[in-house]
């Protein structure tokens, strides 16, 4: 199973074995997600996911669940993590400006659970 999210939590690893981390280019993220995935984000991530769509064409916003699933990774599972730096906290609005998105840095990594 492939998951997409913003963080790797210890609770996700209770049944996991060895973890392999591989940095990913945004174009590879789009290819990997096109094969199907479980969105582990929550609605509060919507603006950040929209920023990734605008910047890279990565579209996962339409599949944000109202309540994110409990993720328990097992051997064979993978998790793509999107890290974002430089976007301000949205306290009085619900979206980022084009300038804010352009000034932010995005990183992507694939975490694979090995047997």
Q: Please choose, from the candidates 76, 101, 71, the residue with its C-alpha nearest in 3D space to the C-alpha of residue 6.
A: 71
Q: Quick check: 96 and 51 in contact, CB under 8 A?
A: yes
- Report the first-to-last Cα separation within the chain, whole angstroms: 14
Segment 62-112, tens digit of pLDDT: 678 888 788 999 999 999 999 999 988 887 777 898 899 999 999 999 999
Percent of the chain with pLDDT over 90: 50
User: For the chain, what percentages of helix, strand and coil (3-state, to nearest 5) are there?
Assistant: 30, 25, 45
Segment 25-69, tens digit of pLDDT: 999 999 999 999 999 988 888 888 889 988 999 888 667 888 878
Predicted TM-score (pTM) of this structure: 0.87
Q: Bridge partners of 114? A: none
Fold of 2-109: Rossmann fold (3.40.50)
């Amino acid at each position: 199973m492939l998951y997409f999210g913003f963080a790797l939590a210890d609770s996700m690893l209770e049944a996991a074995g060895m973890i392999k981390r591989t940095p990913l280019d945004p174009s590879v993220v789009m290819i990997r997600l096109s094969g199907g995935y479980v969105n582990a984000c929550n609605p509060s991530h919507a603006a950040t996911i929209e920023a990734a769509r605008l910047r890279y064409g990565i579209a996962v916003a339409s599949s944000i669940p109202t309540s994110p699933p409990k993720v328990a990774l097992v051997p064979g599972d993978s998790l793509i993590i999107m890290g974002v730096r430089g976007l301000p906290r949205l306290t009085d609005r619900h979206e980022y400006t084009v300038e804010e998105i352009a000034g932010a840095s995005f990183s992507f990594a694939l975490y694979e659970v090995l047997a």
